[in-house]
Amino acid sequence: MVERWSFGESPLPELAELAVVLRDLTSTVLSLERSSPELEELIDVLREAQHGLAKTAPRDPSPRIGDHATDDQRVYIDHSRDIGEYNPCFPQYEFRIEGEEGVGTVEFPVCYEGPPGLVHGGFLAVFFDCVLQHLNCDLGLTGKTAELSLKFRRPTPLLTPLAVHATRSVEDGRIRAQAELRLHDKVLCEGLMVAAVGDRSALPAVSPRRA
């Protein structure tokens, strides 16, 4: 069985629910026709909550990794897969490995809109970066990205279930991973990632969460 590649601590369990709430909230607020007292109250509540949580967060926002990590730094969360599950700034998707390939689905909400009713191309780049890294990590071999390129075949619609299929090959110390985003039988976008094969033993130590 292939050992999955990971680097960092798992996110707090509450972040999975929070990411969904914040992503949905942003999409809803973007769709509002006018301001309201409820919206102003919400802003006050969120600002107060952020200030309260900041009092317990580390003072240094740099990640707590390497030989010179300090208690003042923040914990580093694993970015190898499913980043959208805990960070609402990233797209959320379903993805699984079948043999040496990856298949999954994604549906982009309003908060990722660019042109009217369509996904912003920059978020498509983020999506492909996440999926192809996910594929490489689950297949046990990844490394630093040397190239990420996209081909936009057709506009990608919001609020529409889409399918993704990813494959990869490894040759001469390079990983070449590629994926297609489809709506039924139509290819909407293609992504290609080229990465140098990484050495796990060269990765710096990641400090665990403090008690």
For residue 2, what pLDDT is reported? 76
| pLDDT of the residue at 1 | 63
Instruction: Give the mean model confidence (pLDDT) for residues 40-59.
Output: 96
Query: Domains of the chain, with CATH numbers?
Result: 14-202 (3.10.129.10)
pLDDT digits (tens, 9 = 90+) for 55-78: 999 999 999 999 999 999 999 999
Cross-strand bridge partners of residue 35: none
State how far the Cα of 109 lies from the Cα of 113, in Å rounded to an integer. 8
- What DSSP string describes 16-41? HHHHHHHHHHHHHHHT-SS--HHHHH
Stretch 75-97: mean pLDDT, rounded? 97
In this predicted model, what pLDDT tens digit does every residue of 107-133 receive, in sequence order? 999 999 999 999 999 999 999 999 999
Torsion sign, CA atoms 136, 81, 9, 71: positive
Long-range contacts at 20-24 (CB < 8 A, ≥ 24 apart): 20/88, 20/92, 22/88, 23/88, 23/92, 23/109, 23/111, 24/109
CA distance 73 to 61: 6
What is the torsion angle, in degrees rounded to the nearest 10, for the CA atoms of residue 159, residue 189, residue 196 and residue 82? 10
Name which of 103, 102, 104 is nearest 93 in CA terms. Answer: 104
Cβ within 8 Å of residue 157, ≥6 positions away: 117, 118, 119, 183
CA angle 187–122–100, rounded 5-degree value: 50
The three-point CA angle 50-54-59 to 5° equals 150
pTM: 0.95
What is the average pLDDT score of the chain?
96
For residues 139-168, average pLDDT: 97
